[in-house]
Amino acid sequence: MSATDKDILTAKLFFNAAFPVMQVLLDDDQKLNKMFKKVKKTVQFGARNNDEILACHMAFNDGKVDVIQGIAENPDLCLTFPTVQKMNALLKGGLAMPSIKGGLKNLSLLVKTLALLMGLMKMSPKNNPEDFEGKALKTKMSLYMITRALSTYNKLGVPEMVDFTSRQPDRIYQFTVEHEGKPDYIACYLRIKAGKTKSGHGVYTRRFPFVHFKFLSVDGAIAVLGKQVEFVEGVEKGYVETIGSPEYACMLNDFMAVLQAMLT
């Protein structure tokens, strides 16, 4: 069955926005960090769509991962789903099985890769960590993913997003999460400049934020990002403050809601 435009868009958002968040897992999850410490391998992940394969590949190098779009030349391991729809279903937490090439020769790599893919499920609304470390990791992963997804949404030419970004000169949308007196315990941003977008980690220091989404605690961020409360309710309850243009804050939040629905 051919993939729809929405199926392909969703897959590309996963490849470009969710998969790079694997680096957060490799940095912050001690178990996964140890597993990939000495791994220098390439894993291709994708799905068939008629006679083509829609894929990306992860190049692992001593605890670092570079997510590269497209088919790998000589991957050590290939995970290929029969359809894009089934691949997307798995990435959203459903059940689907890929064909596996190179699994017998690289059984250890297969096990590690599956563990890393399962780690991405920490961003799922169904995942509710009780400990602070788990909550902080979920928050960081979710914010890093959504800012990358916003930029990818624009780069893939989605008309509504292109219209939104093309009429903005040079603006920073900053996201921060406070914890124990540290205002930028978790921080990332989206820069929009005349139709071009770029996401980044940390606080953007060369320009004052046009809109600042300021989460006042990790718990508050979890509640808003996990849709336990709607954004407006989160503001009312003191979970998040928006500093700057309320109109553009609402518009960006609407795009975030669309992307979260596609990716979780």
pLDDT at 226: 87
pLDDT at 154: 98
CA separation for the pair 218, 176 (Å, rounded):
10
CA separation for the pair 116, 257 (Å, rounded):
25
- Counting residues of the chain whose pLDDT is more than 70, the rounded percentage is 100
pLDDT at 260: 92
- Counting residues of the chain whose pLDDT is more than 90, the rounded percentage is 94
SS3 assignment, position 171: strand
SS3 assignment, position 181: coil
pLDDT in tens, 62-80: 999 999 999 999 999 999 9
Task: Spell out the domains of the chain, with CATH numbers in brackets.
Answer: 5-122 (3.30.1050.10), 132-263 (3.30.1050.10)
In the numeric block, which tokens belong to residue 69?
Answer: 């779009």
pLDDT in tens, 93-116: 999 999 999 999 999 999 999 999
Q: In the 3-class helix/strand/coil scheme, how is 195-210 assigned residue by residue?
A: CEEEEEECCCCCCCCC
Backbone angles phi, psi at 205, to 5 degrees: -100, -10
Please give the torsion angle defined by the CA atoms of residues 163, 165, 169 and 171, in that order, rounded to the nearest 10 degrees. Answer: 150
CA separation for the pair 193, 171 (Å, rounded):
6
Predicted confidence band at 2 (pLDDT cuts at 50, 70, 90)?
confident
pLDDT at 184: 97
pLDDT at 224: 94
SS3 assignment, position 129: coil
Q: pTM for the complete prediction?
A: 0.96
Other Cβ atoms less than 10 A from the Cβ of 135: the count is: 18
Whether residue 1 is predicted with pLDDT greater than 90 in this model: the reply is no
